[in-house]
Amino acid sequence: MKLEKFEKNKVGKMLEYIIEKGSDKFTAPYNIKIKDAGKHMDNDYGILALTDPSKKVVQVISESDIRDLLSKGISLDPTEEFEKTLKSVAARVKYTPITTDSTIKEAIDFVVENKVQNLVVVDENSNFYGVINKDNLVKAIDEIVD
């Protein structure tokens, strides 16, 4: 398939087979505390989509964000700082929803420009849909594009 045609396809259609599903693994309420983030982030991708009460994704936090937080000197003791919600963590990447209806070009540009290892995909209602791993995306491009 030509690259131009590939890039115009919808993420939810052409890349469906590489999207890792499972909202239980990848989502957590946005008011989750930093100290509880670890066990929620214990998935193969090291990424967590924070959702509001209506289950809409409002922020995406990765392991590197937590590492950055710890490197700034936050204590692992249950201090007041550690009791802060995960939502207050300044994520390295500003959350920009990539939906199942977004084009593959938009998804690629987001991954490349923000240098993220995993891309959270939401549905048309901004609810969590799945995660695309960068390596799987590269493999898919290599396989599909001529």
Question: Which parts of 17-46 interact with other proteins (CB under 8 A)?
Answer: 17-18
- Residue 74 found at the interface with other proteins (CB under 8 A): no
How many chain residues touch other proteins (CB under 8 A)? 21
CB-wise, 3 or 76, nearer to other proteins? 3
- Residue 70 found at the interface with other proteins (CB under 8 A): no
- Residue 115 found at the interface with other proteins (CB under 8 A): yes
- Residue 142 found at the interface with other proteins (CB under 8 A): yes
- Candidates 103, 114, 139; CA nearest to 62 is 114
Distance in angstroms (rounded) separating the CA atoms of residues 72 and 88: 14
Q: HSE (CB half, 13 Å, CA atoms) of 13?
A: 9
* 131 sits in which H/E element: strand 128-133
